[in-house]
Amino acid sequence: MGSGGWGRQEARRSADAFRDAHAAERARAARAGQPVDGNRRRMPPRHCWVTDPPTAPGRWPGVVVGWRSVDGRWEGRVVVVVGAGADAGVLDLWLGEEQLAPA
């Protein structure tokens, strides 16, 4: 009987699906002769892990809702809930891609 939550196998499948979708989008763009990185801006929102957002050290679940290129590096616009219960807060901010990982 399952716990009703996600296990490691489901999390791995989710991360694999994220990477596969991203790879497929890059391949499609390359075949069409389009700039590959420009397609990142059109990616749909995705669940992610956020590492060390300002004022909330640690690893938090979030959703990447957009991308932008700044000085040759990518930043993701992320909505993340930090804390729990009455102390929870919502952040909407831009972070470097090195702080984001597929969930």
Sequence-distant (≥ 6) Cβ neighbours of residue 55 within 8 angstroms: 82
pLDDT band per the 50, 70, 90 thresholds, residue 9: low
Q: Is the pTM for the entire model greater than 0.85?
A: no
pLDDT band per the 50, 70, 90 thresholds, residue 14: low
pLDDT band per the 50, 70, 90 thresholds, residue 29: low
The predicted model gives 51-77 an average pLDDT of: 91
The predicted model gives 31-44 an average pLDDT of: 63
pLDDT at 55: 86
Please give the backbone phi and psi of residue 66, each rounded to the nearest 5 degrees, phi first.
-175, 165
